[in-house]
Amino acid sequence: MTSSPPTLMWFRRDLRLADNPALAAAFAEGGPVIPVYIRETGTQSGRASGGASKWWLDKSLKSLAADIKSRGGSLVLRSGDTASCLDALIEETGAKTVFWNRRYDAEGRHIDMEIKSGLKEKGLTAKSFNGSLLTEPWQIKTNSDGHYKVFTPYWKRVRAEYTPPDKTHPPQAFAAKELASEPIGNWKLHPEAPDWSTGFDKIWSPGEAGAKQRLETFLSQGLHGYGEDRNRPDIETGTSGLSPHLAHGEISPVTIWRTVRKAMDGGQKDLSEDSAWTFLSEIVWREFSHVLLYHYPDLATANYNRDFEHMPWRDAPEDYRRWCRGETGYPIVDAGMRQLWQTGWMHNRVRMIVASFLTKHLLLPWQLGEAWFWDTLVDADPAANAASWQWTAGSGADAAPYFRVFNPITQGQKFDASGEYVRKWCPELHELPLKVLHEPWS
Ligand code: FAD
């Protein structure tokens, strides 16, 4: 029996046991560890998750709860005002310590700061850790002590200097402690009226085991050809599909970095080094988005480049509706928007095409697209979504300039050269010959 008091492990977007710094530190305290997830619904709550993210959360929490149960413990689910939920749990358990991994969106950071100082005032220990990034967004500085605003030099620094910390192993056993926990079914995490998530199960396996499996499959089938295939929406193994797992913290980017570097250092015969570095650079795009979000907290709503405040966007609700529904008449755009609706995910190349179409053809504000993606992506991420939308619209850091328009016809012909992607998602075009598939009106 241990005499150390319990520690609360407050899970958020870090729904895993392996390589979880806050969890490892909680176990290192020596006392029982009480795992808890709080659905923030009170006055203290950040941006509400979108429908597809909530679908994922439902499955991911069930998977985490099962993993904890298999180690003798029980994941406690509570909802309400975050600070009040933590206070109640401290009262019920006698915990003296609360640990969590950091988040970087403005609302989340504000909540966490208040909670940390409130706990400290009560004489408790509250500590946060980096559980979702390779490096903290404030860590890598330019020579003039600022943060990076351009990706390539940032990437070069990470590539040259980053060394992952040692692996932390999943805990063997949680203490058996029965506390009141809300049934997850009461949280109604599936979309309603309509429930468009019914097909997601066929594609995704949310949870830590699913994330591990995706990484293994990608290493054996996709990584070698990533340099070439990553722009091909018609190739299923062209990219990793790890984004929703990363967005919910079911796998750490540190684990991914370590695993890929090991494969490069001889673990995997004939691996293309260029492909592997290109893949790691995408992981670092994710980091770079967090740098931007950290330094520009209103990145999801306000133009990073304030000149765009004067952009005369159109007000055209019917055009927006048709874009959302994949009814624009441009095959590659419609295919992408339907893939998003039916699977909760869209290929990166097609994301750029549909985002360019919304902002540069339809001249609709990027914030409308950001909001639709936020609701419908299983990988909706406050940093990557906002930064990528601003990048495509031209208002972002290191962005595609306003005059760079993705031509939906030539992009389709180049990146869906076989036409398989469009044929899959736009079955009404199935019979068209390839020559006209990407411009059917011709
Ligand atoms: P892979 O090619 O296998 O890349 C591996 C990982 O690197 C991804 O899982 C992701 O975590 C990261 N990554 C790859 N590309 C980018 C990028 N351009 N920016 C930031 N991180 C990247 N990604 C999200 O995770 N969440 C979002 O909400 C999101 N919204 C986007 C909105 C727009 C308009 C655009 C153009 C891109 C957006 N992306 C977003 C980035 C990118 O499209 C996805 O990360 C990628 O398609 C996920 O598929 P994958 O896991 O197979 O990627």
Q: Which atom of ligand 1 is nearest to the CA of 253?
A: 11
Q: Which atom of ligand 1 is nearest to the CA of 352?
A: 36
Mean pLDDT computed over 300-318: 95
In tens, the pLDDT along 269-296 reads 788 899 999 999 999 999 999 999 999 9
Residues framing ligand 1 (Cβ under 6 A) = 230, 239-243, 246-247, 282-283, 285-286, 289, 348, 351-352, 355, 373, 377, 379-381, 384-385, 388-389, 392
Contacts of residue 326, Cβ cutoff 8 Å, sequence gap at least 6: 333, 334, 335, 336, 337, 338, 341, 425, 426
The torsion defined by the Cα of 13, 219, 350 and 318, in degrees rounded to 10, comes to -30
Neighbours of 48 (CB within 10 A): 12
- Dist. CA 238 → ligand 1 center (Å): 13
- Dist. CA 330 → ligand 1 center (Å): 23
For 227, the 3-state DSSP assignment is helix
CA 416, CA 234: separation in Å to the nearest integer? 6
In tens, the pLDDT along 24-58 reads 999 999 999 999 999 998 766 678 999 999 999 99
CA 438, CA 429: separation in Å to the nearest integer? 9
The pLDDT, as a whole number, for residue 47 is 82
Give, using CA atoms, the residue closest to atom 34 of ligand 1. Answer: 389
Cis peptide bond N-terminal to 382, omega within 30? no
Where does residue 369 rank: exposed (0-12), middle (13-18), buried (19+ CB within 10 A)? Answer: buried
- The model's confidence at residue 399, banded by pLDDT at 50, 70 and 90, is confident
* Rounded alpha-carbon distances, angstroms, from residue 195 to 24, 51, 187, 190: 37, 9, 15, 7
Catalytic residues: 282, 285, 313, 348, 366, 389
pTM above 0.85, yes or no: yes
Q: Which atom of ligand 1 is nearest to the CA of 241?
A: 52
In tens, the pLDDT along 198-239 reads 999 999 999 999 999 999 999 999 999 999 999 999 999 999
The torsion defined by the Cα of 392, 253, 188 and 195, in degrees rounded to 10, comes to 50
User: Does residue 1 register a pLDDT over 60?
Assistant: no
- The model's confidence at residue 377, banded by pLDDT at 50, 70 and 90, is very high
For 239, the 3-state DSSP assignment is coil
The pLDDT, as a whole number, for residue 175 is 83
